[in-house]
Amino acid sequence: MRFILLLSILCSWSFVAASAAIDVDQCQRGFDGCYLWSPEARASGVTWQEAVGRAKRRLLISPGEYEIVTAPFIGGRDSLSIIGIGEVTLRAGKPMGTFIGYGGTNKGTLRIENIHLDGGWKIGNCIYAGSAINKQHIVLKDVELYRCGHGLMGANEHWGGRDAIDNLDDSYLLDNVDCHASTSHCIYIDRSAKAEVRNSRFYDPGNGKHALKVISWEIDVHDNQVSNAMLDGSASRTTGNAPLSLVSCQIGRVADNILVFRYDRGATARGNGTGGNVLDKQPRWVLSGCDKPPYQSPTNWSETYWEDKSRRYVTEVSGNTFSLFGDKRERIALRLVVNQGTLPMTYVVAGNTLLKTLPRPAGWYERSITHVHDNHFEGAKGGRWADRVCVSKYWGQLLPEGRLDPPLPKPVPKMVDGPDCAIRF
């Protein structure tokens, strides 16, 4: 029986190895819209731009280090896979916008796997992907994103129209991704239908930015390590604002992550310092672009919609470890989980952070709820100036209460609740 089992395993391995070999061989011959790029091809004059152009559906890259000096144009594609078949590094040789730009005219799945991207402080975005007109699914697996403006900038959806949020269709899957040493956010996924982020590490973001920023309607963020400094809590070259930035109109979960926050007053050469929020569910400044249904839609203004008091945007925050660093004698009291709500508001003056409330439909109530439970807290500060686990607040520098029309409602029921909220350090 053991012999049969061993033979079966060996046959399976042989099949996988043979399949991989055949795949590479077929790709080398240009079958199935595939192109194999290698150091030999590079030496013969096939550039990165040309290699991506030759790969109609799939680009395999042989082991090696490749200096990239020209970004490819990728347009009108119906899916594209870029996969390293060994240790592959793409290194920026001169300033460029991006290594891989899967812009609005493309659709289908962009899959990037087993590649190290080193922007060398010369690249705006290691990867740019997102479309407002076509459905895309972005998959990053076993990828390192290093020394770029953003490691991944996922964008280009619109949340402002009457039914725009119902048209959101882009989705993102990040699996075993390392993103660090950015000059802005390590990862910024903006305005998409869904994002799953798992088994990954995001740290050392740009000055005043976030390590992981996910503005998606549905999220599943689990089993990651995320830090606004280094993963062990030590100071990095700059200090990011916070580890994790989310949005108040999301649903989903944040589970079993290690969230590392280092407080910095900003009095050092490392940068402007941090905020006081660790996991922050931010509103959008113009919340007509965040709500579902959209603020301008007839559904939003119908009495029957608001008569149903069970409608909620619920996010579960559970099983996470919050590790807090900084001088406890001097640092401010931190807010570990913050939900800043979906209250409709907008700028008083464009370009200024002073905000005012917008009209609300009859029966409006706060639908954003975060359940916080079964988390672990390390390095938290107790006493009179204790850190707070759960905070419900409306965001921003609002006009004085007497000048708000309509007035500011109280965040009831609480936007953040659960057994962890009652912890006293």
- Exposed, middle or buried, 104 (CB in 10 Å: 0-12/13-18/19+)? middle
The residue with tokens 């990037």 is 112
For residues 91 and 121, is the Cβ–Cβ distance under 8 A?
no
Which DSSP letter does residue 248 get? T
Q: Which helix (H) or strand (E) holds 39?
A: helix 39-43
DSSP notation for 74-131: --S-S-EEEEESSSEEEEESS-EEEEEEE-TT--EEEEEEEEEEEEEEEEEEEEEE--
- pLDDT tens digits, 217-234: 999 999 999 999 999 999
Give the confidence band of 18 by pLDDT, cuts at 50, 70, 90: very low
Q: How many residues does the chain have?
A: 425
267 Cβ contact partners less than 8 Å away, ≥ 6 residues apart: 273
295 Cβ contact partners less than 8 Å away, ≥ 6 residues apart: 287, 288, 289, 344, 358
Identify which has the larger pLDDT, 404 or 352: 404
Q: Where is mean pLDDT largest: 82-86, 264-268, 270-274, 339-343?
A: 82-86
Using only C-alpha atoms, what is the Rg of the chain? 24
In the predicted structure, residue 17 carries a pLDDT above the cut 70? no
Mean pLDDT computed over every residue of the chain: 88
- pLDDT tens digits, 329-353: 778 899 999 999 999 888 888 777 7
Mean pLDDT value of segment 378-383: 90
Cα 20 to Cα 41: distance, rounded to the nearest angstrom: 20
pLDDT at residue 155, rounded to an integer:
79
Q: Could you tell me the pTM of the whole model? A: 0.91
% pLDDT > 90, the chain: 64
pLDDT at residue 330, rounded to an integer:
78
Q: Where is mean pLDDT largest: 67-76, 350-359, 384-393, 415-424?
A: 67-76
Cα 331 to Cα 324: distance, rounded to the nearest angstrom: 11
Structure tokens at 110: 């962009």
Give the confidence band of 387 by pLDDT, cuts at 50, 70, 90: very high
Give the confidence band of 295 by pLDDT, cuts at 50, 70, 90: confident
Cα 110 to Cα 98: distance, rounded to the nearest angstrom: 15
26 Cβ contact partners less than 8 Å away, ≥ 6 residues apart: 32, 34
Per-residue burial over 153-189, b if 16 or more Cβ lie within 10 Å, else e, is bbbbbebeeeebbeebbbbbbbeebbbbbbbbbbbbb
Residue 347 sits at the vertex; the CA angle it makes with 345 and 348, to the nearest 5 degrees, is: 110
- pLDDT tens digits, 236-249: 888 899 999 999 99
Structure tokens at 50: 């040309």
Give the confidence band of 15 by pLDDT, cuts at 50, 70, 90: very low
pLDDT at residue 269, rounded to an integer:
52
Using CA atoms in the order 76, 111, 124, 275, what is the torsion angle rounded to 10 degrees? 130
In the predicted structure, residue 42 carries a pLDDT above the cut 80? yes
Cα 232 to Cα 222: distance, rounded to the nearest angstrom: 19
Cis peptide before 406 (omega within 30 of 0): yes
- Exposed, middle or buried, 420 (CB in 10 Å: 0-12/13-18/19+)? buried
Mean pLDDT value of segment 195-205: 97
